[in-house]
Amino acid sequence: MVKIILIGGFHEIIELAENNSYDIVGIIDKKGNGKYRDYNIICNDENASTYFNTYKNIPLIITPDSPVVRKKLHDHYANLGFSFLSLVSDKAIISGSATILEGCVIQDIVNVSAESLIGEFVKLNTMCNIMHNVFIGNYSTVAPNAVILGNVTIGQFCYIGSNSTILPNITICDNTIIGAGAVVTKSIKEPGTFVGSPAKLIKTLI
């Protein structure tokens, strides 16, 4: 069994790790001590450096949903010298020609099709569907049941909402939020929040 430490005690990711035979050594959480689901809370972000020598050979998996939070946590723990691992469900369907980079979390019944590239610390939630030749930039999140069709490029720090659909051959710029159930019919060049069918800008990035 592969030993891991989870950053964030999210029960859904704990169960994903358990069901895929990962050995959870402990959890790093803001509480800093105690237990959650019978796992020790080792420390919090502020005092994690004092535990580096003890746990330096155990990779971390970053669990929060927010792209910005994952980036912040990655930077913090990378600066401390920790290493990272992807957590990929055995029930996910990953094409042999797809590439999954470091630090990803890929949940049950996710499909990643031919020649797609999933960037660093991307989170793919349950039953999302990534079709052929899709590129998803670092730290982005794809929510449950979202469909990203062929030849789509998604930038960094994006959030693709549940049950949304991105039509083929579209590019979505960095720092974009696609609302739940939205249908993206044309490329997005301006960061912000887009909702509806077809998706329209409702809030620009501040």
Q: Indicate if 74 belongs to the active site.
A: no
Q: What is the largest CA-CA distance in the chain?
A: 52
The CA distances from residue 69 to 12, 157, 175, in Å, are 18, 10, 13
Q: Which one of the listed residues 11, 74, 76, 132 is annotated catalytic?
A: 132
- Tell me which residues are annotated as active site: 132
